[in-house]
Structure 1
Amino acid sequence: MPRAMALLAGALLPGLAFAADLDGSQLSAWWGLPFAGVLLSIALMPLVAPVFWHHHFGKVSAAWALAFLLPFAATFGAGATGAAVVHAALAEYIPFIILLTALFTVAGGIYVRGNLHGSPGLNTAILAIGAVLASFMGTTGASMLLIRPLIRANDNRRHQVHVVVFFIFIVSNAGGALTPLGDPPLFLGFLKGVDFFWTVVHMWAKTGFLIGVLLALFYAIDWWYYHRREEIRPVDPTPDTPRLGFEGGVNFALLGVVVALVLMSGLWKSPVAFNIAGTEVGLPGIVRDVGLIIVTLLSLRLTPASAHENNQFNWAPMQEVAKLFAAIFLTIIPVIAMLKAGVDGPFAAVIRAVTLPDGSPNNAMYFWATGALSSFLDNAPTYLVFFNTAGGDPQVLMNALAPTLIAISAGAVFMGANTYIGNAPNLMVKAIAEDRGVKMPSFFGYMAWSVGILVPLFALMTWIWFV
């Protein structure tokens, strides 16, 4: 079947030589406008037209995708366009969505029974536990497992926004920095040849510092809110139960299968691959994705209905992420190509900024350039761009240029917390919180939190480790 698909694609898409490897040096910066349009829509439309956006964000996303695809097809031909779309779908978007769906479904099938009371100490403990779990079950898995019980624990408090914001900072982003399983950029580095344990050895101090400071700051803010006279509502919306426990425990085993499948796809080296419209699809990736689909179906089949009902499990957050990131992965195609063109492309200034006059890497700028782009682009391809900008040799980057690889890794993972779109779990957590009645900040309102709290910490980390 894959061979037949490849032959059919070859017949229908004659421009496969162009394939997914666009020459970014031949592109104008204007090709980045649809991508900017997607970002601005996500940022502004919930503010200026919230009802319209809620009902039609999928159509808006599709419109921006077409605003890129139609002119691109008219300029470069249907073959090149089709190959680029196939590459974005098979190599990036489909595996990305399959993994997120599996983690979302499995974690959403685990219901923490009982009513925790969201005191500053308990909330801080949950965030700390989530930070540890994020590096072993992924930021998405940890976020989906803990965000519902955390919101439920605080549903008798009037001020809940800061709890969810710090949850995104810590669990949905910083906590995933210790292993390739934690965050997609690090997993891509693992697939490129970075040793599995290299990350934890070289990132633990930076990660521990950032998470430690954020936990201390959160405790101080939460303590101040908690001890305000008007903070606690007289009636707790969630009644107390005799004991704590779990429903849907089978999902813990399925979560282990998810981790094993992801790890297998990186460790298993198979020569078997299928070329589909110019995109190589390896057997390990196919086995991983099929396995993740099976895990998702098993979770839906085996999870008790009561666990889903108690979790108020629904597909709305996943649908939002799938539709928005479909547009992002398509419209980002020319942006990534222009970045890959290096000093010969429209974004040459970015590339020059990460290199010192003597030709050596400027690690502080690698940290900030990777982080700034990861805040608004998808952090996985951004990591790859700067991984390759620094030479792309994993042995050199793990040894002689280890500080540079650390800067790239830290920027991609940590600064994904700067915006709602910096990392997929951010949007999912936001959607779940809003579905539970938490009035989350707007796109720029959230950035006010991140700029006020995270950016000074990143500046301090630059001075300590990257200068």
Structure 2
Amino acid sequence: MLPRRFATWRGCVVMAAPLALLPQPAWAAMGIDGAAMRWPYALPFAGLLLSIALGPLLFAKFWHHHYGKIAAIWSLLALGSLVLFAGSMATLAALVHAMLAEYLGFIVLLFSLYVVAGGILITGDIKGTPAANTGILALGTLMASVVGTTGAAMILIRPLIRANRPRRRNAHVVIFFIILVANVGGALTPLGDPPLFVGFLHGVDFFWTTRNIWLQTMIVAGLLLVIFVAVDVWRFRREPQLSDAGPGKPVRIRGLVNLVLIAAIVASLLVSAMWKPGIAFDVLGTKLELEDLARNVALLAIAALSVWLTPDEHRQANGFTWEPIREVAKLFAGIFVAIIPVIAMLDAGHHGAFAWLLSAVTAPDGTPREVAYFWCTGLMSAFLDNAPTYLLFFELAGGDPQVLMHALSGTLASISMGAVYMGALTYIGNAPNFMVSSIANENGIEMPSFFGYLLRAGAVLIPLFLLLTVLPVAPILHWH
């Protein structure tokens, strides 16, 4: 039984790696006959993915200055191929849907969380002991599902770095921080991690993951904290005794108004999910619901209030800049456009060019292979990006949120866990990972290389994921 499972997810990685990002639903490609398209239409999308994965590693300086142009070139190639295939009006309709119905809500939430979290400043002297480090990691893990993995990571990474700067061996602290705070901790709400918010935008209930994968998240996070304590105690005992400089400055949290604004963000999402006025505006076939427009306006207003109410010195002390969110906005705009042809082919199901991917996660009788969904979603999230990967498999599983939340709840849980948990395996699996690594490097912590991090994170995480796979799964994962 175990070898068959291994063969399933290994085959998924080999076959499906070029397709990993999918931030739009199947109906985004309405008016485009995906069954008549062939795999070359996905080349601009694959080119953009390779650029994102390899650009920062192979030509970092050029990439940093021109990533927006590179994303735009791939997007224009995708749109050009669609114009030749389906005509200008069908292409324009798909572009409008991608930008207004999908991308806008996605980036507005990330932007508001990034801005508000950047106004919270933690000051004071914290000593990098195993107890203090474990407390920060546990706090960040709990915070991640409330303020988002990006928000929690940006709030806590600098205090953690300052606390551990005197230690000679401190990179492992940041590695576990990336795993727990920037990834696993965000598994319980749409605020926590981008893939879950994409699911929320497509009709998944706000508290669905809270109700359905809290136990799995508790198991994974708890075991990770136990492993961290063992590693950190071992490393700490090998450190030279640090001189005691006497009592330091007490820990203080500044910019508390931003905590109120984070609560306002949560309230905005909940209200938009419950308020259904039945009013929509049609833009070239794309229906923009009034509640979604109101939510986006509210989130932007909250971000503006944060900038207005937070003293500039708080953001300066946090090292806050606009570049990280600017990069995310540009790259994801390109992704949301370049994916349109791939969506059309996926929408064709067994008649499309990617029918083999559907077969890889579906049994001959038509039932989903939940273990395959977990491993395929997860490993592809690790090496590309977890938010669009989530939607790829969300669509492969049918794309109907009501069916996925009820009759196929195990499949949706597998997709959610794979996207969130395994985004921690590499620096590029989730947006905060690389940001945290860059901040650590800038502050004198020698972080491992891309493959060095992969080796260390994989050594910790893969055994845990295998444990989830081979445990008596009925009471834990409900896998068949």
For the aligned pair, the TM-score class normalised by the smaller chain equals 0.7 to 0.9
Counterpart for residue 42 of structure 1: 52
Q: Which residue of 2 aligns with 1:173?
A: 183
Identify which of 105, 130, 134 aligns with 2:144: 134
Match of 1:14 in 2: none
**Structure 2 Cα separation of the partners of residues 413 and 394 of structure 1:** 18
- The aligned counterpart of 2:460 is 453
Find 1:288's aligned residue among 295, 301, 309. Answer: 295
AA matched with 1:406: A
Instruction: Give the deviation of 1:130 after TM superposition.
Output: 1.2
2:326 is matched with 319
Aligned-pair CA distance for 1:307: 0.9
The answer to which of 456-465 and 424-433 deviates more is 424-433
- Which 10-residue stretch deviates more, 108-117 or 35-44? 35-44
Change beyond 3 A, Cα 1:208–1:387:
same
Report if aligned partners of 1:114, 1:245 keep a CA contact under 8 Å in 2.
Answer: yes
Secondary structure at the residue paired with 2:339? Answer: helix
Q: Deviations over 1:37-80 (max 9, x none)?
A: 23322333333323222333333333333332333334433323
Deviation of the 1:189 alpha carbon: 4.1
Matched with 1:368 is: 375
The range that moved more, 154-163 or 206-215, is 154-163
Within the candidate set 299, 302, 306, 1:299 is matched to 306
User: Which of residues 17, 37, 44 is equivalent to 1:27?
Assistant: 37
C-alpha change, 1:96 and 1:235, in structure 2 (3 Å) is farther
- State whether structure 2 residue 280 is matched by structure 1 residue 273: yes
Q: Which residue of 2 aligns with 1:4?
A: none
- Distance of aligned partners of 1:309 and 1:250 in 2 relative to their CA distance in 1, 3 Å threshold: same
Pick aligned residue for 1:336 from 334, 337, 343: 343
Q: Would you say the 8 A contact 2:206–2:273 is kept in 1?
A: no
Alpha-carbon contact 1:332-1:377 (below 8 Å) kept: no
Q: Does 1:420 align with 2:430?
A: no
Q: Residue type of the partner of 1:120?
A: P
Q: CA deviation at 1:381?
A: 4.5
d(CA) in 2 for partners of 1:228 and 1:56? 44
Deviation at 1:203, TM superposition (A): 0.9
Contact 1:176–1:413 (8 Å) recurs in 2? yes
The correspondence for 2:87, drawn from 74, 77, 81, is 77
Matched, 1:220 2:230: yes
Q: Partners in 2 of 1:334 and 1:376 — Cα distance?
A: 21
Equivalent pair of 2:385/2:429 in contact (CA under 8 Å): yes
Secondary structure at 2:29 match in 1: coil
1:61 is paired with a residue whose SS is: helix
Q: Distance in 2 between matches of 1:196 and 1:374?
A: 22
Partner amino acid for 1:405? L
Cα distance in 2 for partners of 1:86, 1:434 equals: 40
Partner of 1:383: 390
Following superposition, the deviation at residue 403 of structure 1 comes to 2.3
Contact kept, 8 Å, 1:377 with 1:422, in 2: the verdict is yes
Instruction: Report if aligned partners of 2:28, 2:98 keep a CA contact under 8 Å in 1.
Output: no
Between 1:45-54 and 1:292-301, the stretch displaced more is 45-54
Deviations 1:327-371 (A, max 9, x none): 222222223333333222222122112222333221111212222
- 8 Å CA contact 2:195–2:388 kept in 1: the answer is yes
Letter in 2 for 1:458: F
- Alignment partner, residue 98 of structure 2: 88
- For normalisation by structure 2, the TM-score amounts to 0.84
The answer on whether the counterparts of 1:156 and 1:235 sit within 8 Å (CA) in structure 2 is: no
Aligned-partner Cα distance in 1 for 2:438–2:289: 34
SS in 1 for 2:287: strand
Cα drift, residue 438 of structure 1: 4.0
How many angstroms does 1:416 deviate by?
Answer: 2.4
Matching residue within 133, 145, 151 for 2:155: 145
- Contact 2:381–2:419 at 8 Å: present in 1 too? yes
Deviation string 1:136-175 (CA, Å, 9 cap, x unpaired) is 2222222222222222222333444332222221112211
Q: Look up the match of 1:206.
A: 216
Bigger Cα displacement from structure 2, 209-218 vs 372-381: 372-381
Aligned ranges for residues 12-23 of structure 1 at < 5 Å? 20-21=29-30, 22-23=32-33
TM-fit CA distance, 1:440 = 4.0
Structure 1 unmatched runs, 5+? 1-17
Classify the secondary structure of the residue corresponding to 2:288: strand
Q: Equivalent pairs: percent with the same residue?
A: 53
Deviation string 1:386-436 (CA, Å, 9 cap, x unpaired) is 344444555544444332232222122222223333333334334433444
1:197-219 deviations in whole A, cap 9, x for unaligned?
44223212211111112112222
Compare 448-457 and 436-445 and name the one that shifted more. Answer: 436-445
Local SS of the residue matching 1:164: helix
Alignment check: 8 A CA contact 2:206 2:270 kept? no
Q: How many residue pairs end up in the alignment?
A: 447
For residues 285-330 of structure 1, what are the alpha-carbon distances to aligned partners after superposition, in whole Å with 9 as ceiling and x for unaligned? 1111111111111111110122112112111222222222222222
Q: Distance in 2 between matches of 1:38 and 1:297?
A: 32
Deviation (angstroms), 1:376: 4.7
Asked if the contact 1:374/1:412 (under 8 Å) is kept, the reply is yes
Matched residue type, 2:29:
A
Q: Give the aligned partner of residue 78 of structure 2.
A: 68
Quote the Cα distance in structure 2 between the aligned partners of 1:67 and 1:419. Answer: 29
Task: With a CA cutoff of 8 Å and minimum separation of 6, indicate the structure with the bigger relative contact order.
Answer: 2
Task: String of CA shifts for 1:105-138, please: whole Å, max 9, x gaps.
Answer: 1111010011212222211211111111112222
Query: Normalization by structure 1: what TM-score?
Result: 0.86
Amino acid at match of 2:258: N
Alignment-mate amino acid for residue 373 of structure 2: Y
CA contact (8 A) 1:175 1:182 kept: yes
Distance in 2 between residues matched to 1:162 and 1:35, nearest whole Å? 35
Q: Who is 1:116 aligned against?
A: 126
Q: Is the 8 A contact 1:135 1:182 kept in 2?
A: yes
Tell me: CA distance 1:106–1:19, structure 2 relative to 1, closer, same or farther (3 Å). closer
Q: Distance in 2 between matches of 1:59 and 1:439?
A: 31
Q: Are the aligned partners of 1:143 and 1:425 in contact in 2 as well (CA < 8 Å)? A: yes
After superposition, residues 179-198 of structure 1 pair within 5 angstroms as 179-190=189-200, 194-198=204-208
| Residue 254 of structure 1, CA deviation | 0.8
Within 2, Cα distance between the matches of 1:434 and 1:333?
37
Structure 1 residue identity aligned to 2:66:
H
Cα RMSD over matched residues? 2.8
Distance in 2, matches of 1:161 and 1:38, equals 31
